[in-house]
Amino acid sequence: MSTHTPLTVLSEEELMFQDAIRNFARNDVAPRVMKMDEAAKIDQDLIKSCFEMSLMGLEVPEEYGGAEGSFMMAVIAIEELAAIDPSLSVCVDVQNTLVNNAIIRWANDDLKKKYLPKMCSEWVGSYALSEPGSGSDAFALATRAEDCGDHWKLNGTKLWITNGGEASMYLVFANIDPSKGYRGITAFMVERDFPGFSVGKKEDKLGIRASSTVELIFEDCIVPKENVLGEVGKGYKVAIETLNEGRIGIGAQMIGLARGAFDGALEHMMQREQFGKPIAHFQGLQFQYAQLATELEAARLMVYNAARLKDAGKNFIKEAAMAKLFASQVAEKVASKCVEFFGGVGFTKEYPAEKFYRDAKIGSIYEGTTNMQLQTIAKLLLAERS
């Protein structure tokens, strides 16, 4: 089975890490994928294994119990898991690129000491920004935070929150003063057992079904004063800068998904015979899968490039938007064609092609829709020339 990974792109250490995650995905995750999809729930033993392998704290410094790895290592882990199960992949993705990332960058020392060891050892994290009336218009938040002296009181509802079902820690964005617009937005660290907080409806989804997507309800939710992440009124900055990095993670999920679909389809075409030879040898199909392989490789290099820029401390916002945009487009195209490559059985649940096809659609929606990525790219291109 091809890996589609050019050796010159990854270091020896990264290749060893990639092999370890790939083996875990194939040996431990793969046998459980379809049952998790049917049950719409990630096997808790797999989440426990992810903690044991330090996959839930990849960039967290060692002093807090993390692996102190690079952002590129997170991208590798997300890709390899997605090649087998995009649902488990996005669980690891959100934990690292959104939640831990935000805590590392914005939390004070006391919050880091209190929460990062738990995030590396047992607590799943969730990122709560979206609301019923706040999707692409991310800062039209209706959730309110009231300063009550020694604590904050949160009221409102969040929707489409990934990892919400398993999480013990939620990064919640609320507005302390709507008259200030986005400058009133503040980020809070909310524990699952805080008074006034509850998990509501779980969405019944088309794809990535094992990944929990839920409603969060805040009814006079009491949050300690010290649990503000960053500065009061600076939550918009936390949200924007964290999502910029998260988009690279989604790009990694999409290239992993596309690779998983492609590898399975090509293997099938090499075994399936018609008119006396494997269908992979017919030129009509060769031209199609050669084109897909080329676009998949291009998407991977875009994702890797954005990750390298991030690790190098260079500006990566445009490259992250481009990588997320293109990787999601390629994933949807590859997954669709791979169903066709399988023929009739591709339309059944006997093979994973139909699941990859269902899973691929989310790539053009979450962590910034396709149109939002295009808008970001266009604005940055114009800014470069002004």
Q: Which residues are catalytic?
A: 367
326/315 Cα distance (integer angstroms): 19
184/385 Cα distance (integer angstroms): 32
Cβ neighbours around 298 below 10 Å, total: 14
Identify the three-state secondary structure at position 170: strand
Angstrom distances, CA of residue 69 to CA of 12, 96, 155: 14, 11, 37
Identify the three-state secondary structure at position 145: strand
199/197 Cα distance (integer angstroms): 7
Start-to-end CA span in the chain (Å): 48
Residue from 295, 229, 239, 220 nearest 4 by CA? 295
131/216 Cα distance (integer angstroms): 9
